[in-house]
Amino acid sequence: MPSLISIDDLKNGMVLAEAVKNKYGQVLLAKNAVINANHPKIFRTWGVETIMVHDDNVAKPQATFNTSLVASVRQGLIDRLQWEPMLPQETDLLEMAVNSFLRRQPITTKIETGEEEAE
Amino acid sequence: MMDILEKITNTVENLPTLPTIYSTITEAIQNPRTSADNLAKIIATDQVSAIKVLKVANSPFFGFRGKINTISEAVFYLGFNEIRNIIFALTVINYFAKNTIVKPFHPKDFWAHSIATGIAARLIGASLGQSNLENYFLAGILHDIGKLVLLQSAKNEYAKVGELVEKQKISIRDAESEVLKINHATVGHALALKWKLPPTLQEVIANHHTPSKDHPDAKIIASTYLANNVVKLLQMGNAGDDVVPRPNPVVWEVLSIPNGFFSKMLDQLENDYQYTIKTMLTER
């Protein structure tokens, strides 16, 4: 699924999901083009602020995490909250936070999808 | 020394009335003969807010993906009330952000927390099929406004509130009650009354820590309560404390949130948050 991102978050190698146009409707960069280091500057010059890129290029949880890391993040949250989830909604809230904090972990602690589990 | 409560009351009384652009726009909206172009002209008289309104109107949660190029288009696509609320939020942020506040939170972090609450409340409201989502957004942004009034009226005492929060790991609301004998919900409500905000917003500001089943505005109050706790849990911005209580079970009764809602909401909340704090909190 394509996502809208700010040009401040553009990274080299991202793929456009929609052509980028200036305010006159002229195409600056075609659909499926690959972003390089010069593009953000050009977009800025033309007043383009947001861009549609293919989702797999946006920083999302592309990695799985080893179970001990997940468990320690979860326990850290429970210690911080000082309550343990009992209702399904509470569990959902906690798991949402676990996911969010796992994404913020440095890349080295993640195990890339598809690789063998190293524990 | 002047009594703290007296100081706070004085501050609320002395705060300026609603920024004029808000009342001008509200009057224009109430006039059935106002067109989108008329309204766009009023907004365009303030160049700075016009540019910001455009940026916010292109936020991902409105779904127009950077396609709104003029104020008239923004008014046309988003509607009068949405535009009025965006302008009001920007005006209030701008009004209070100028004051140099040090403890217990930086104004930018305070507003980041408030904006995140607005986005989360909006997402919760949308899942309930509510039609007045612009009020969910504004309610979230303004829910803690009383904290800024307290800071402004009793700066030194509020620093003590911050110290107490840190030392005893209690909520800022409890610390306010202990040090100041009043809390931000009560003070925020007084300001909302003075500003003659819509009654629903007054109620959310007064009750955002105390949801109930029987209140006529139960849904928006419960949504803001829950949104506040969600973004505190995720540490988006800084509300002045890190206390996230087990949600009051009343909110589950009022809102009937579908299973797995929060995990599904996370991506959108984080994306919308990143975009919106950039557009609403940058200087120009």
User: A1-59, pLDDT tens digit by residue?
Assistant: 778 888 888 887 888 888 888 877 788 888 888 888 788 888 888 888 888 888 765 54
Residues of B with CB under 8 A from a CB of A: 55, 58, 60, 65-66, 69, 230, 233-234, 242, 244-247, 249, 252, 257, 259-263, 265-267, 270-271, 274-275, 278
CB contact under 8 A, B60 and A89: no
Instruction: Label residue A117 by pLDDT band (50, 70, 90).
Output: very low
Nearest CA in chain B to A87: B249
Mean pLDDT of B115-143: 95
Residue type for B115, please? I
Position with higher pLDDT, A38 vs B147: B147
User: Does the distance separating the beta carbons of A92 and B259 come in below 8 Å?
Assistant: yes
For B245, nearest residue in chain A (alpha carbons): A81
User: B226 with B124: CB under 8 angstroms?
Assistant: yes
pLDDT value of residue A61: 47
How do residues A67-77 score in pLDDT, each as one tens digit? 889 999 999 99
**Percentage of the residues of chain B whose pLDDT score is greater than 70:** 94
Contacts 24+ apart (CB under 8 A), A103-110: A103/A60, A103/A61, A105/A65, A105/A69, A105/A73, A107/A63, A109/A65, A109/A69, A110/A63, A110/A64, A110/A65
Q: What pLDDT sits at residue A38?
A: 80
Q: Please identify among residues 16-55 of chain A the ones whose CB lies closer than 8 Å to any CB of chain B.
A: 23, 48-52
- Per residue in B11-49, pLDDT (tens digit) is 777 776 776 777 788 888 888 888 888 888 888 887 767
Per the model's pLDDT, the better-predicted residue between B42 and B209 turns out to be B209
Distance CA B14, CA B87 (A): 22
pLDDT tens digits for range B71-87: 999 998 898 889 989 98
More confident residue, A77 or B7: A77
ipTM of the complex: 0.88
| DSSP designation for B237 | S
Angstrom distance (rounded) from CA B215 to CA B225: 14
Q: Which residues of B touch A95 (CB under 8 A)?
A: 262-263
Residues of chain A with Cβ-Cβ distance to B245 below 8 Å are 83
Q: What is the dihedral of CA B91, B152, B114, B252, to 10 degrees?
A: -130
- Reading phi first (left if > 0) and then psi (alpha if -120 to 50, else beta), residue B205 is in alpha
Please give the structure tokens belonging to residue B166: 């840190």
Phi–psi pair at B53, nearest 5 degrees: -60, -40
Q: Residue B175: what pLDDT?
A: 96
Which residues, in sequence order, are CB contacts of B147 under 8 Å at separation 6+?
Answer: B110, B172, B184, B188, B240
B78-114 per-position pLDDT tens digit: 988 899 899 889 888 887 766 555 567 788 899 999 9
What percent of chain B has a predicted confidence (pLDDT) above 90? 53
Question: Averaged over B52-75, what is the pLDDT?
Answer: 87
